[in-house]
Amino acid sequence: MNGEIKSITFFFPYPYISGIPVLFSNVANFLTKQTTLEVNIIDYKGGALIRSCNFCKQLRFIEFRDFEPCVLDFDTCLVLQAGIPYKLRNELVIGKEVKIIQWAAHEFNLVPFISKFNYFRKLQEQYVWIYSLFCFFNRNKYQMLSDWTAKMIDRGAIVFMTQCIYEITQGYLKFPDSLNITYVPNLGDGITTYDENLIRQKSEEVKETLELAWVGRIADFKIHILNYSILSLSRLALQKRRKIHFHIIGEGEFMHLLELHCEHEFFKITCVGKLEKSAVDIYLKEKIHCLFSMGTSALDGARIGLPVVLLDQSYLPIKKDYTFRYLQNATGYDLGHPVTKQDFEPNNNSLTEIIDEVVYRYQAVSNDCLIYYNQNHQIGTVVKKLLKQFEDSFYRIEEVPEPLLKQGMFRKCYLWYKRNVKKSYY
């Protein structure tokens, strides 16, 4: 399985549990169990990635410190969340022996933002022409970025989790839509496993009270779809006089916007708070019947056979009739995308239909979701795809054009503030 690969390194220094630390730790834990590879983790001491890893002889922790060099100068395969070269952390010094693969997990990983301010970032994400106008004034650099990104995609050195992520990247960077695209989808893993007897038991429990859950950070692009789901479920519970208990697992900077005032006799909300990954796995298995979520969190439900309603991203309140859908109805490995006109249909009954199916056809819906997960997101299949890219599709740091490694004035000012005023990166 590992061919000539001797060592693989995951880089994501970040203090808080989120999708990428969970993803990378899942892969790292699988590799230490199933292969003889040396696995290196570059993270803060006590960071989210290293906290989620299972310690063993094959696992080596390389501590990352803000504003101090972190030298990687041995033969290893480096996995990075995809990003523009000049945004790579200054502290990381990559040697010539290192093979690099970028894994695009977000729609805007490879798209330059015109500003660090959220207001302008949201405008850019909604209106591509704003980005195009901005690029007009620095045409040479952005054309170089487009050309280099296209070359790496065609080679397979930049891989994508979903078709939607690729299409948005292509739409902004304007490279030819004729590349050899490699998809390495997201994956799920954890300490719990599928239990057919438990699913059978849950199929009876849902007829009394339906235990639903959201799992994920309460972030700017998640809060509005979460609120829309809560309010829609509250109305449905009252109309159908069906008892629904909604669990919110996670915290975040937008918790103050949560719609918690819609409880009534048939609809209750419990804010569970932030849990470590292993605690989330246990909570889902023991207490939840159906999951409303996106990203890696959606797979944590599907992996153990819970029906999963896949939610999409929005930076604005949702006022139209959003169409709810199961995970197994997604296309292109989608795990939640920025909402478009196609995600709305006037007067649709999608949520009612889903809730009725979960109550009256629980085992069938559970089985459909589990089959989809095993075919598309099962960890062994995905890891095999990732390792294959390191056979001949990687790039080395010297292949990045020098201008793409140089930071602009605004980024230098931003990093100066982090170092000299804030005294930390996060």
Which pLDDT value is given to residue 115?
Answer: 61
Instruction: Look up residue 255 and give its two tokens.
Output: 């918790």
CATH class given for the domain over 7-187+381-422 = alpha beta
- Tell me the three-class secondary structure of 296-322, residue by residue: HHHHHHHCCCCCEEECCECCCCCCCCE
Closest by CA position to 205, among listed 246, 248, 263, 244: 244
Catalogue the E-assigned strands of 165-256.
210-215, 244-249
What is the residue-level pLDDT of the chain in tens, covering all 426 positions?
444 788 999 999 999 888 899 899 999 999 999 999 999 999 999 999 999 999 999 999 999 999 999 999 999 999 999 999 999 999 999 999 999 999 999 988 998 876 666 666 667 666 777 777 777 777 888 899 999 999 999 999 999 999 999 999 998 898 887 779 999 999 988 899 999 999 999 999 999 999 999 999 999 999 999 999 999 999 999 999 999 999 999 999 999 999 999 999 999 999 999 998 889 999 999 999 999 999 989 999 999 999 999 999 998 999 889 999 999 999 999 999 999 999 999 999 999 999 999 999 999 999 999 999 999 999 999 999 999 999 889 999 999 999 999 998 888 998 999 999 999 999
Half-sphere exposure of 13 (CA within 13 A, CB side): 21
Which pLDDT value is given to residue 117?
Answer: 64
CATH class given for the domain over 196-377 = alpha beta
**Delimiting residues of CATH 3.40.50.2000 domain(s) in the chain:** 196-377
CB 73 within 8 Å of CB 92: no
Name, in order, each residue with C-beta under 8 angstroms of 161's C-beta and a sequence gap of 6 or more. Answer: 103, 104, 105, 183, 184, 185, 186, 333, 335
Which pLDDT value is given to residue 234?
Answer: 98
Rounded CA-CA distance 158/264 in Å is 49
Which pLDDT value is given to residue 1?
Answer: 42
Which pLDDT value is given to residue 2?
Answer: 44
Q: Give bridge partners of residue 102 from the DSSP assignment.
A: 80, 158
pTM of this prediction? Answer: 0.87
Residue 241 CB neighbour total at 10 angstroms: 8
